[in-house]
Chains A and B, each alone.
Chain A
């Protein structure tokens, strides 16, 4: 047991390597926030494209659905490897696209962001869709009958309601995304896991990995509690809402 504790819970060791691991986790945080924001936006765009009405937009809808199906089905790890290996080899792209160095971050960081955004955009598009479909069709009819265009109705009437309904599941996806950023360690992005296993391979002590896990929990646990709170509040609204109408 002592061996186990020394191996994984050597607090002195953790203190010694705290700065290194924190630096790695800071990369994790940056990856999560940048990819998370992009995936939220991209997912919303995909979900909106999927809702375009009429025969004229059939090809757009078909392409969008195909995109969502494909990238929900391809493992993120595989996509990361494909993008990191493929994009730099595309000679016809300009160098700033093939080997992006934006915001002082190296190219593999951005390949990670791209892969995560592509995959989680597809996941989140489905969450948005569930929200859009949960808005009663009468809302769209009411908006259109007042002369609003489909676009105006989506933006001012449908999406605000849809997003409110799926805020909690979106946040859940964001938590999953945060954890999945560790996959970019395969393309040598110095995030929490790579730093931890690097320290492990040098020192034969796994406590740095445990420290990384603790840092993850410090972020994900409060988020998860927050999601629970949102969900119970949403349910509370429904149970309290009905009698309130009667009372008036």
Chain B
């Protein structure tokens, strides 16, 4: 455990030294400080908590730098506040987000990340804070309304998401197009270069709400749970986050945010899932 932590710190040091050398800057103070490499801003008063997220992915994360919003963002802010920290979001690419986390680029990930065994190998997840389903998103009237119906069609997904994994494992797609950004997949659907997109339901709902003649033809229960992630071995931080999350659920903040972003009350199971695990 401590070995992993050491290597993580070492990786940060390496990145720090390399970037210092590259910048031609002589000061070496920064490289001895631990963890976060985001510079501190004192908005909320607490010690900053650097959080990585692939923005935009509405309604989970959206907005402009300095003014990010979304379910993940606001929930993480509440969690951080509960533990006396101030969440600072950093926009990053989802396909390398866990790698960056393991290397110490930020301390936590809040990016609609599904908890999977594969990912558990590199990072540690908090208790689930959201239960997700995948949606098949199509143009209105398209008869692709089940996983079986994906057979032989051109399907778009965002690269590195569970949607991709799901289609690769269960859907017999004729061609699978992996877009670096979720919205690109939706645009490809609108322009007609893909016939269906498989993505998280809330994101798909957002795409439908934005107009353009799209509909969700099927919801696929995948028993997916979203969790916040921290680097492996960061037990203390993980416990703090779980505690902060529990507090947010108990005091009603969670429900308020859930209704704000998903227009309905959170499923009861989320509370039990959270309490069970902790």
A residues in contact (CB < 8 Å) with B: 1-4, 7, 81, 84-89, 98-99, 106-108, 185-188, 190, 194, 197-198, 200-202, 204, 206
B109 on the A face (CB < 8 A): no
B87: chain A residues at CB < 8 Å are none
Knowing A187-B188, A198-B160, A198-B178 touch, does A204 contact B10 (C-beta < 8 A)? no
The interface residues of chain B lying within 8 Å CB-to-CB of A198 are: 95, 159-160, 178
- Nearest first, the 3 A-B pairs at minimum CB distance are A201-B160, A188-B177, A201-B95
Subset of 30 A-B contacts with CB under 8 Å: A1-B10, A1-B14, A3-B7, A3-B11, A4-B14, A7-B99, A84-B188, A84-B191, A87-B191, A88-B193, A89-B190, A89-B191, A89-B192, A99-B193, A106-B175, A186-B180, A186-B181, A186-B184, A187-B188, A187-B193, A188-B156, A188-B179, A194-B180, A197-B96, A197-B180, A198-B159, A198-B178, A200-B96, A201-B160, A206-B96
Known: A81-B184, A188-B178, A204-B122. 10 other contacts (CB 8 A): A1-B10, A84-B193, A87-B191, A89-B190, A98-B192, A187-B188, A190-B178, A198-B178, A201-B160, A204-B102
Once A187-B184, A204-B98 are accepted as A-B contacts, the answer to whether A197 and B191 lie under 8 Å apart by CB is no
Residues of B within 8 A of A84 (CB): 188, 191, 193
Residue B253 is within 8 A (CB to CB) of chain A in the complex: no
In the bound complex, CA of A201 to CA of B156 (Å): 17
B residues neighboring A (CB under 8 Å): 7, 10-11, 14, 94-96, 98-99, 102-103, 118, 121-122, 154, 156, 159-160, 175, 177-181, 184-185, 187-188, 190-193
Interface of A, helix, strand, loop or mixed by DSSP: helix
Contacts A4-B14, A188-B178, A197-B96 hold; do A107 and B193 have CB atoms under 8 A apart?
yes
B247 vs chain A, min Cβ distance (A): 31
Q: How far is the CB of B186 from chain A (nearest CB, A)?
A: 11
Select one of B7, B99, B154 contacting A204, CB under 8 A: B99
| Chain B residue nearest to A111 in the complex (CB) | B193
Measured CA separation A190–B177 after assembly (Å): 8
